[in-house]
Structure 1
């Protein structure tokens, strides 16, 4: 009889813990950003769900969610959402997965504000994770609102911004556009709009003016010097086709 009582108590505790975890990871409908909402923070993918920074902060405070920062280790070390873990987008696309149950509430974020985190969320969903969301406004809006971050004390002094706008004639809408600094691995992303244009904002840390920034989309690429506080135009045209040299036969 005593054994049955102990077993019953154990089952009740397990059931209670499971219910608490499910409640802690339940995202209310009002927390979600409709895909059709005004694109104040850039285009959204129809394949993932977006959550506002205000509701995400509530999960950060009470626990029950895993925040993953997909921007890259260098940027993560500078500053990140308190309690987040670094999982660079390229690592995820190469098969690195969170070591948590597949139904864990995961909130992915980047700084662009959600191009890279959307790609990460789509990949995680394809690998069986069932409770993945994207921070709609991105890391820097989280920080602007005074929500908790951690990292280096001099992060604000190290942070500099540059914008890139341009066209990519002939590339399909939705094609990812990347801007990277190879030495530190800092990376930001955007995508081609329906009219063939794109726009990127690069919040990079610790770069001197003139450092090479690589811009790429599909099989196209260009390089520009880093110019803090400046907006530059970069057209990603088709790759040059080598011409055959004619020579006289002997």
Structure 2
């Protein structure tokens, strides 16, 4: 991602967080007390002990790093046992609406300001997740691996499958699932394998997708509280475009 876009995004993402009614981390005045350790507030019913062969997990290569994609049932087992920390790689507004209970906000790619993960031991098991279903979280995981974290995984099926299965979720809108809006674009063929980004700056919501061979990409946005006239920014290594959601979803974005 080009530096100017990331800095603009980080400034929004690191801003204020709306209160979360019904969140187990709520303070008495309704403001969120952000999670800091990434563990569930309390363990669930003890699970039947099982062996998980993490070496058998498929991987995705992001930024030159092989990131393990963990099946959701394995991550839910770790969650129930309290043997993994969870990090949400999406934007602050998305996190506020619904997130895995106990998970911290650690936006892709670098965690943003005051990232709680930076205080975690490098040998702890860390599970990153997003909703696309795993590109944003793979970007965050790749950065952590580059920084020396030894046991980092991504939920392969993503956050929305976690929600669908009825696993623990907290936030202001835990039962909602925003509709998908698709932005299709094309950039330079040399950008294949890199990342295309989209975000709504007022709320800090973002999405990302790998650029395919030939330079094509499709961004699938699950943004809340945006309408056809909302301004969305789209950025690839070759260009940055800002336009209404309606305009971006009814044409192929090319940067011209």
Given the two structures, how large is their TM-score scaled by the length of structure 2?
0.71
The offset of 1:191, in angstroms, is 1.4
SS in 2 for 1:89: coil
Alignment of 1:78-227 (within 5 A): 78-92=97-111, 96=115, 97-153=117-173, 156=176, 159-227=178-246
Higher relative contact order (CA 8 A, sep 6+): 2
- Following the alignment from structure 1 to structure 2, what is the Cα–Cα distance between the partners of residues 188 and 48? 18
Distance of aligned partners of 1:31 and 1:149 in 2 relative to their CA distance in 1, 3 Å threshold:
farther
TM superposition shift of 1:197: 1.1
Contact 2:187 2:238 in 1 (8 A): no
Tell me the distance in 2 between the aligned counterparts of 1:31 and 1:222: 41
Question: Is residue 178–residue 215 contact of structure 1 (8 Å, CA) maintained in 2?
Answer: yes
Question: Is the 1:32–1:51 Cα contact (8 Å) retained in structure 2?
Answer: no
Q: CA shift at 1:224, angstroms?
A: 3.5
Cα distance between partner residues in 1 of 2:51 and 2:118: 19
Q: Say if 2:191 and 2:211, in contact at 8 Å, map to a contact too.
A: yes
CA distance in 1, matches of 2:223, 2:211: 21
Deviations 1:144-187, CA, capped at 9 Å, x for gaps = 22222111147617x34311122213332111100000111110
* Higher alpha-carbon deviation: 126-135 or 142-151: 142-151
Query: Contact conserved, 1:50 with 1:134, CA < 8 A, in 2?
Result: yes
Post-superposition shift, 1:48? 1.2
**How many residues in Structure 1 have an aligned counterpart in Structure 2?**
203
Contact 2:189 2:214 in 1 (8 A): no
Query: Any idea what SS the aligned residue of 1:171 has?
Result: helix
User: Judging changes above 3 Å, is the alpha-carbon distance between structure 1 residues 236 and 32 closer, same or farther for their aligned structure 2 residues?
Assistant: farther
CA RMSD in angstroms, aligned pairs only: 2.6
What is the alpha-carbon distance in structure 1 between the residues aligned to residue 234 and residue 196 of structure 2?
7
Deviation of 1:231 after TM superposition, in Å, equals 4.9
Query: Per-residue deviation at 1:207?
Result: 1.6
Quote the residue 1:52 is aligned against.
71
Alignment of 1:229-244 (within 5 A): 231-237=249-255
List runs of 5+ in structure 1 lacking aligned partners.
Answer: 1-25, 36-42, 240-250
